[in-house]
Structure 1
Amino acid sequence: MFVPSPQQAAFIQEARTGTSSIVLIAVAGAGKTTTILQAVKEMRGNTIILAYNKKIAEEIKGKLKRDGVDWKKAEASTTHAIGLRNYRKTFPTVRVRAEKVGDMCAALSDNGTIGPELVPHTSVICHLVSLAKANAVGIIGDIDDTSIWEDIVDHFDLFDEEPLQKKGDDIIEMAIRLLKKSNAEAEVIDFDDMIYLPLLYRIRFFQYDNVMMDEAQDANIVRKLLADALLKEGGRFFGIGDPRQAIYGFTGADNESMENLKDYFQCKEMPLTVTYRCPKAVVKMAQNWVSHIQAHPSAPEGTVSLETFEQMLQSRDRLNGDAAILCRSTRPLVTAAFALIREKVPCRIEGRDIGEQMKKLVTRWKSISTIPELEDKLEDWLEAETARWVAKKKMAKVQEAEDKVETIKVIMDACREDKRDLITDVVAYIDNIFADNVTGILTLSTIHRSKGREWQRVFWLDRFNTCPSRYATQDWEKIQEANLQYVAATRSMGELIDLFPPLPKQKAVNDNQQQPKEKAA
């Protein structure tokens, strides 16, 4: 039976009897989903709960059904799904094409509209168009107002090297033309368009008495405007989230989202500062990043400790579905995964789409079939990518390329150990270690992908070398790096363990020879 805390009870009471809109600032593990579902059952009118992704939306739907809440009283959806659903009422034959803008950009290059001097910058042009949609360019403000585009460029540091600066005006002009062309093709939409085009075309939305936005700290401008479009005149907006869990700024999410939502909807602010997930020792560590998070008085003490990878393996009964290994980067996770597999510890890395990106890279050269050939190609590719992004001062892109190649190298080494030498073997290994929604066995995950999940035991892999990212240079990027560390720490329900990466195999053997007692243990 749900017994609310004083803070939860205050929110539920305000939701039931009040009239103002509310932003609910909830620390990690504060029971926000339980709280809002309890409030929904007691609120006046009908409610839409806007979830950040499909998985969360499905979980909320299941809980509403379990609690006997009729869908006419309350429903849950992602912002993209609800946008598309309403858009189809006006454009019933609409088709989704993920690469809509990229295909249009390529066509403009082929017919000469995009001149040869801009062809090297087409990826920047497409990225700028995507960010313009996230920032509602054309919905608020004039598409032709270059100052709006310049603000986006400055915020995301898109033109941070001389060639781009020299071509900056031309790139913005071409992005404006590309956005207009994309907007004119109303029957074909991409992921960004699912929210953007219904607002641009001012379609008639089905509206609700109450609009609840979960994970509101990750909202961008178009998500805010969509929430407004879904709200009846005189309706109430509820923004639920934690500003210190904002980690998706690179996608166009607004780093000041909660404050902006509060101002836009004239919200009353209410807190949930007590975590029901984390034990006291973990909360104490999390206070390094968020000083106001509190442990519940009944919370267990928990533990915060440090282990080598080899020490972790000595107690392998802990390495099960109740545990996760988290890391800022992918490469250390893959190294750890193969070390675990060699020790016959079942595990998977969260994120099948990461695996798909790896497979796309290893299979891009159709003329080769062996790992040695692939190794040479990857070295050349990394050198070219590094030169390309360093010239543009895009160090995050350099990190991404390095991480991708280093990850594939780990997989190639594992293939060699098993006396496998073909690229098809690399692909098979990738398919075997990457998965979605990993449960029941030890989960390995980047911190970004761990958001919204929890485990009894969390091993934080290679924290001292990966957090914060040395490539975070702008103020908002540095803030989000701190947020990432807070997210990682607060995934733990019991134990939080700083984990050193596995030693190189030869070194591990030598160390064990020097420490026969530990080896015997």
Structure 2
Amino acid sequence: MPRQKQLSIPWSHYQQAIFDWVKSGSGHALVNAVAGSGKTTTLKEMVSRIPVSKKIAVLAFNNHMASELRQKLPKRITVSTIHRMGMSVLIRYFRQTFQCNESKYHDLANEAIQQMLKLRLEWERDPELQDKEPIPPPQLNHPKKILARELEGTIRSFLKEVIHYLQITLTEPTPEGIKMLISHFGLESPKGTLLEWLLPWPEKILEHGRLVATENLNIGLDDLLWLPHVLNLQPKTKDWVLVDEAQDLSRAQLDLVLKLKGETGRMVFVGDEQQAIFGFAGSDAYSWERIREAILPTEFPLSITYRCPKTHANLAARIVPQLECRPEAPEGEVHVIHPASIKHQVRVGDLVLCRFTAPLISLCLKLVIQQGIQARVRGRDIGKMLAALVKDVADTFPENFRRDLRAYVEKRVKRYSEEGRESAIESLQDREAAIIACFQAFSDKCETISLFCKRLQELFDDEALQSEYVILATIHRSKGDEAERVFFLKSDCMPFLALAETRWQKQQEWNLLYVGLTRSRGSLFLVPMPMKPELLPALLEQPYGGMQLNGAPSGKPYPPKQEALSEDPATDPHLQHAVNTLHEILQKMLRELIETAQIYQVEFPELMKWVWPRLTAEFAPGQLAVVPPTPAVAQLPPLQTSQRSPVPLIRIGDVCRYRGPEGAMNVTCWGRDLQVLDIKGEVATVKTEKWIHPHEIEIHYLRKVQ
């Protein structure tokens, strides 16, 4: 069979193994491609080695990536986003053109709220109905209009958010399913009887949404993935299906993609398991494992990065050990710089990254207003979200705006704190800081709130060319971007584990750090920006601006020194880094040992007599003094120093409490009584009246209630 012309490139042995499989292998493939490993080039070459008689589909993560692939592949290849593929399935089945309406479920939620208001009025007029239904409908007719409006907004936001997650996760719209989503994604929801009363409504709205789609051809964005599933529609199958960014597929996306292969089709999923960063938005945090289970693939690595210089690759390899640097890669530069110097160093063509939004907006305003440098922030939807918050808050503008915003935020922070939703607090406070930065910069030039919101949204532009602007982006928005020079703001906060409440959230924080470290082709500027200014001098002296690279789930040890970096060993940055790291480790060990002594009801010195010889067993004789254990302490149950938790102390059915170190995992459940439901390895599934859905917590942080 004739094939497309192949590229004459010296392929790596990793790439050649994939091409050989395409030519003579069978079944499906899963390609784990590190950042900058030439995924697009590899995909293009794979396509060229498939006979032209075969029907091929290449599916991209978003429109920008699809457009880029479309320009590089032959026209006979179907290149599409998965959402666009969903639209083609609906058109093929109904033989009609659909109207995509972004506000569809906003409108349906409003209709539901009007029905609730009628039910409330009927309930108030009918004593028999009050006896029959003791849980009243929400008081949407509250005499205080501001309270009625706030309740209406709460209900609308809840319904829209729940429906979004129900659709993209393919979760059954039962009360149990909705509670699971609230718990997993940390969704903002009403509490108590109001939540119980609202739980049946998402199912009603989804059914209404299905009828509106099938009868009026009116669909929302998530309908493009959800309707083919609930209507059991089959897309036109392909001989080959190649899927990019596979690690960020949602359940609904994967369900639709798998239907493309039919009985005999072959599938290739390409991605990087450790670039999965969109779990908060509904992407399946376990997409990689789910793909493995679905297609039983042959797995291939693409481990050589062609983007990163050696110094950057060495940093990234601390998180992703399989990442390799190409032999001819330049050395590259890593600098730690003062935050005040950024606006003088940055120039058009640079990429500025941050885990948070507010520092990016603040810097963007300084560049545009003070320096006259063209700059834009990626993420139009972020601008829309900030504008929506402004409109929710401001009854008067601009006189009392900051006071109203502060009151709004404080009220919700208190509520989120009571609910244990630390990540929601961080997100809200980040948005508040971003809005305040804009207010200080240009509110005096905006007579109305509409003008202020318009000016705010003009800072955001997803289409701005890097050759014409300084591009600022959250790490989430930067995936796929690269630049010769990259500035990494708030390096001292990375990885941001303080508010990661679940294991998958913790992993994705490490993934975000990995993505940020692999955007630069030449110079990487790390910019510590501590909350306490007095900490800045010390952070500027640290090798990586306070960034913590130890403790990555699969990271490499600190890279060996190649040469002395200082005349005095005491001022060597490598030694300083080692001392800082050791100090943190010892603090954690000390807390753990003290708690263990309390559990066994022994004095701390006695416990150390048992711990010390085991801790130093691997050292050569004579290097460390060993204190023999006393007979009493020697009878303690054998703790394994390789394990972080005394697992035998906790069993199914026990009542425990979480006492994790501050900043680790879910600190909000300190002191709560937790019922242990199951134990697997060092992870216990626990339940409490405070939580609707069982949670997983490392046994290391659990202590049995005495």
Cα shift at 1:93: 4.3
Structure 2 counterpart of 1:8, one-letter code: Q
Structure number with greater Rg is 2
Establish whether residue 404 from structure 1 lines up as the match of residue 431 from structure 2: yes
Structure 2 counterpart of 1:488, one-letter code: G
Alpha-carbon distance in structure 1 between the residues aligned to 2:179 and 2:395:
43
The correspondence for 1:433, drawn from 442, 447, 459, is 459
Cα shift at 1:413: 1.8
- 2:399 corresponding residue in structure 1: 372
SS in 2 for 1:206: coil
Question: Do the aligned partners of 2:492 and 2:530 also contact (CA within 8 Å) in 1?
Answer: no
**Relative to structure 1, is the Cα distance of residues 361 and 312 closer, same or farther in structure 2, using a 3 angstrom cutoff?**
closer
Establish whether residue 386 from structure 1 lines up as the match of residue 405 from structure 2: no
**Relative to structure 1, is the Cα distance of residues 408 and 365 closer, same or farther in structure 2, using a 3 angstrom cutoff?**
closer
Matches within 5 A, 1:112-511: 112=116, 115-116=137-138, 120-137=154-171, 148-158=177-187, 164=191, 170-186=197-213, 187-313=217-343, 316=345, 319-321=347-349, 323-341=350-368, 342-363=370-391, 368-369=396-397, 371-415=398-442, 420=445, 422-423=447-448, 426-427=452-453, 429-438=455-464, 439-440=466-467, 441-465=469-493, 467-468=495-496, 470-501=498-529
Deviations 1:432-456 (A, max 9, x none): 4322233222211111100111111
Question: Do the aligned partners of 1:159 and 1:165 also contact (CA within 8 Å) in 2?
Answer: no
Count residues with an aligned counterpart: 487
Alpha-carbon distance in structure 2 between the residues aligned to 1:415 and 1:137:
44
- 5+ residue gaps, structure 2, are 1-7, 121-136, 140-150, 537-706
Deviations 1:44-101 (A, max 9, x none): 412111111111001100111xxxx232xx1210110110122022331432222323
Question: Do the aligned partners of 1:336 and 1:502 also contact (CA within 8 Å) in 2?
Answer: no
Alpha-carbon distance in structure 1 between the residues aligned to 2:377 and 2:188:
35
Alpha-carbon distance in structure 1 between the residues aligned to 2:259 and 2:406:
50
SS in 2 for 1:325: strand
Structure 2 counterpart of 1:192, one-letter code: D
Establish whether residue 70 from structure 1 lines up as the match of residue 75 from structure 2: yes
**Relative to structure 1, is the Cα distance of residues 206 and 282 closer, same or farther in structure 2, using a 3 angstrom cutoff?**
same
**Relative to structure 1, is the Cα distance of residues 131 and 503 closer, same or farther in structure 2, using a 3 angstrom cutoff?**
closer
Cα shift at 1:366: 7.8
**Relative to structure 1, is the Cα distance of residues 311 and 383 closer, same or farther in structure 2, using a 3 angstrom cutoff?**
closer
Structure 2 counterpart of 1:110, one-letter code: Q
SS in 2 for 1:433: coil
Deviations 1:193-250 (A, max 9, x none): 1011022212342211111111000012111111122223211111110110000101
Question: Do the aligned partners of 2:237 and 2:259 also contact (CA within 8 Å) in 1?
Answer: yes
Alpha-carbon distance in structure 2 between the residues aligned to 1:232 and 1:123:
39
Deviations 1:457-493 (A, max 9, x none): 1110012136415332111111111111111111111
Cα shift at 1:340: 2.4
- 5+ residue gaps, structure 1, are 509-521
The correspondence for 1:19, drawn from 15, 22, 26, is 26
Alpha-carbon distance in structure 2 between the residues aligned to 1:150 and 1:384:
23
Cα shift at 1:181: 2.8
Alpha-carbon distance in structure 1 between the residues aligned to 2:187 and 2:442:
39
Question: Do the aligned partners of 2:393 and 2:408 also contact (CA within 8 Å) in 1?
Answer: no
- 2:566 corresponding residue in structure 1: none
**Relative to structure 1, is the Cα distance of residues 490 and 104 closer, same or farther in structure 2, using a 3 angstrom cutoff?**
same
Alpha-carbon distance in structure 2 between the residues aligned to 1:355 and 1:167:
31
Question: Do the aligned partners of 2:31 and 2:299 also contact (CA within 8 Å) in 1?
Answer: yes
Alpha-carbon distance in structure 1 between the residues aligned to 2:491 and 2:310:
21
Establish whether residue 61 from structure 1 lines up as the match of residue 86 from structure 2: no
**Relative to structure 1, is the Cα distance of residues 366 and 309 closer, same or farther in structure 2, using a 3 angstrom cutoff?**
closer
SS in 2 for 1:291: coil
Structure 2 counterpart of 1:102, one-letter code: H
Alpha-carbon distance in structure 2 between the residues aligned to 1:174 and 1:148:
13
Structure 2 counterpart of 1:252, one-letter code: G
Alpha-carbon distance in structure 2 between the residues aligned to 1:106 and 1:503:
41
Stretch moving more, 495-504 or 347-356:
495-504
SS in 2 for 1:25: strand
Cα shift at 1:343: 2.6
Structure 1 counterpart of 2:49, one-letter code: E
Cα shift at 1:164: 3.2
Cα shift at 1:410: 1.2
Alpha-carbon distance in structure 1 between the residues aligned to 2:104 and 2:458:
31
SS in 2 for 1:300: coil
Alpha-carbon distance in structure 2 between the residues aligned to 1:150 and 1:377:
32
Alpha-carbon distance in structure 2 between the residues aligned to 1:393 and 1:110:
32
Structure 2 counterpart of 1:156, one-letter code: F
- 1:514 corresponding residue in structure 2: none
- 2:548 corresponding residue in structure 1: none
Alpha-carbon distance in structure 2 between the residues aligned to 1:61 and 1:96:
23
Q: Percent of counterpart pairs with the same letter?
A: 28
- 2:55 corresponding residue in structure 1: 46
Question: Do the aligned partners of 1:27 and 1:273 also contact (CA within 8 Å) in 2?
Answer: yes
Cα shift at 1:364: 5.3
Deviations 1:288-342 (A, max 9, x none): 221211111111111222001334455x3x5221x21100111111221223231
Cα shift at 1:391: 4.1
Alpha-carbon distance in structure 1 between the residues aligned to 2:101 and 2:341:
49
Alpha-carbon distance in structure 1 between the residues aligned to 2:181 and 2:160:
13
SS in 2 for 1:476: helix
**Relative to structure 1, is the Cα distance of residues 206 and 175 closer, same or farther in structure 2, using a 3 angstrom cutoff?**
same
Cα shift at 1:150: 4.9
Alpha-carbon distance in structure 1 between the residues aligned to 2:295 and 2:192:
38
Output the TM-score relative to the length of structure 2: 0.64
Alpha-carbon distance in structure 2 between the residues aligned to 1:15 and 1:148:
41
- 2:88 corresponding residue in structure 1: 85
**Relative to structure 1, is the Cα distance of residues 364 and 130 closer, same or farther in structure 2, using a 3 angstrom cutoff?**
closer
Alpha-carbon distance in structure 2 between the residues aligned to 1:116 and 1:338:
43
Alpha-carbon distance in structure 2 between the residues aligned to 1:395 and 1:269:
37
Structure 1 counterpart of 2:296, one-letter code: Q
Alpha-carbon distance in structure 2 between the residues aligned to 1:159 and 1:361:
15
SS in 2 for 1:185: helix
**Relative to structure 1, is the Cα distance of residues 427 and 413 closer, same or farther in structure 2, using a 3 angstrom cutoff?**
same
Stretch moving more, 288-297 or 385-394:
385-394
Alpha-carbon distance in structure 2 between the residues aligned to 1:199 and 1:280:
46
Alpha-carbon distance in structure 2 between the residues aligned to 1:311 and 1:101:
46
Higher normalized contact order (CA 8 Å, seq sep 6+, divided by chain length)? 1
Alpha-carbon distance in structure 1 between the residues aligned to 2:524 and 2:46:
32
Alpha-carbon distance in structure 2 between the residues aligned to 1:435 and 1:399:
24
